[in-house]
């Protein structure tokens, strides 16, 4: 049987009476609990602070850390400053008739920075120097700085150094998309003697290859650098200039090789296009 309303009222009055008579008691213990919580918070804070001071008890270290710059300017400078070119050891090749080819391999390690212009010259023998030459280097490009068919009445025995200066860097965000598709790899053909109808004909050594312009640009001038290797060592560098190379067109090149070049077992061909020339491409 459910309790009557009068019994509910009696219980509520008893509870209210108890709360009213024990109000001070309840307030006292609630205050104590609040102080305990606050005290516990302070204990934890000072304990953590003490651990921090114990771990870093050297004020010199703390002061040094406080003085550290917010930005690492060295890292920022490295990210926004181009890396310098990487040079191999220069080489000289005697080609006969008091002429020499002076060559050094160069690599640009930058992803976006290109050299719009750079000057260089070779120093040889007793600090004699060649003329100053200017060229360009694209990002991530490996190529050769050359002085070909250099005439010297004095025998050049060694190259002392390569001087590079007048750097003009340019950051390329969206460089022209160049594409060269090798349709026939470079092949070295040694010198041959052909006999036809009792008559001998000497065919000089040569290098031939075929390539297609796979870009959408008509290239006005492309310089092909041909590196010849024998036994894993550089045996010579040739250059051939091709004019007016339309897009998607294919060409076959063949250039003769001097008798001064020794044994050749490997050939590497690389195109050089000066994209900084405003007329490097053209419309049909």
pLDDT score at 271? 97
Question: Which spans in the chain are helix H?
Answer: 5-21, 23-55, 59-67, 73-80
Q: What is the pLDDT of residue 75?
A: 66
When pLDDT is cut at 50, 70 and 90, the band that residue 6 belongs to is: low
Q: Do residues 223 and 239 touch, judged by C-beta distance below 8 A?
A: yes
CB 134 within 8 A of CB 119: yes
Give 130's contacts (C-beta < 8 A, 6+ positions apart).
102, 121, 122, 124, 147, 150
Among the listed residues 124, 95, 41, the one whose alpha carbon sits nearest the alpha carbon of residue 235: 95
Nearest CA-CA partner of 117 in 163, 164, 81, 169 = 169
What confidence tens digit (pLDDT) does each residue in 263-281 have?
Answer: 999 999 999 999 999 999 9
The helix/strand/coil state of 7 is helix
Lowest mean pLDDT among 67-71, 110-114, 123-127, 236-240: 67-71
Mean pLDDT of 21-29: 74
Output the six-digit token pair for 54: 């114990």
- pLDDT of 56 > 60? The answer is no
14-18, 101-105, 152-156, 223-227: which has the minimum mean pLDDT? 14-18
Average pLDDT, the chain: 87
**Percent of the chain's residues with pLDDT above 90:** 59
* Under 8 Å between Cβ of 217 and 248: no
Quick check: 8 pLDDT over 60?
Answer: no
Give the pair of three-digit tokens for residue 158.
Answer: 């060694």
Closest C-alpha among 266, 171, 258, 176 to residue 214: 176
User: pLDDT, tens digit, for every residue of 223-263?
Assistant: 999 999 999 999 999 999 999 999 999 999 999 999 889 89
Residue 130 in tokens: 């060649």
CB 205 within 8 Å of CB 238: no
């Amino acid at each position: 049987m459910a309790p009557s309303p009068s019994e509910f009222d009696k219980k509520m009055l008893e509870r209210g009476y108890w709360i009213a008579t024990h109000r001070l008691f309840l307030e006292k213990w609630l205050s104590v609990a609040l102080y305990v919580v606050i005290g516990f918070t302070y204990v934890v804070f000072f304990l953590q602070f003490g651990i921090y001071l114990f771990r870093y008890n050297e004020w010199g270290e703390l002061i040094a850390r406080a003085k550290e710059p917010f930005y690492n300017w060295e890292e920022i400078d490295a990210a926004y400053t181009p890396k310098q070119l990487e040079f191999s050891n220069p080489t000289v090749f005697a080609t006969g008739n008091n002429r020499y080819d002076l060559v050094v391999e160069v690599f640009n390690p930058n992803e976006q920075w290109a050299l719009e212009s750079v000057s260089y010259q070779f120093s040889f023998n007793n600090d004699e120097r060649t003329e100053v030459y200017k060229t360009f280097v694209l990002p991530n490009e490996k190529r050769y700085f050359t002085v070909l068919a250099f005439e010297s009445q004095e025998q050049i025995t060694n190259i002392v150094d390569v001087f590079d200066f007048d750097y003009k860097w340019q950051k390329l965000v969206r460089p022209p998309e160049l594409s060269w598709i090798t349709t026939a790899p470079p092949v070295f053909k040694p010198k041959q003697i052909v006999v036809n109808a009792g008559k001998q004909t000497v065919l000089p050594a040569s290098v031939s290859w075929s390539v297609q312009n796979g870009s959408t640009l008509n290239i006005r001038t492309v310089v092909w650098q041909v590196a010849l290797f024998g036994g894993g060592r550089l045996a010579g560098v040739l250059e051939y200039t091709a004019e007016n190379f339309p897009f998607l067109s294919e060409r076959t090149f063949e250039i003769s090789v001097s008798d001064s070049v020794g044994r050749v077992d490997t050939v590497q061909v690389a195109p050089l296009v000066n994209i900084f020339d405003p007329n490097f491409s053209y419309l049909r």
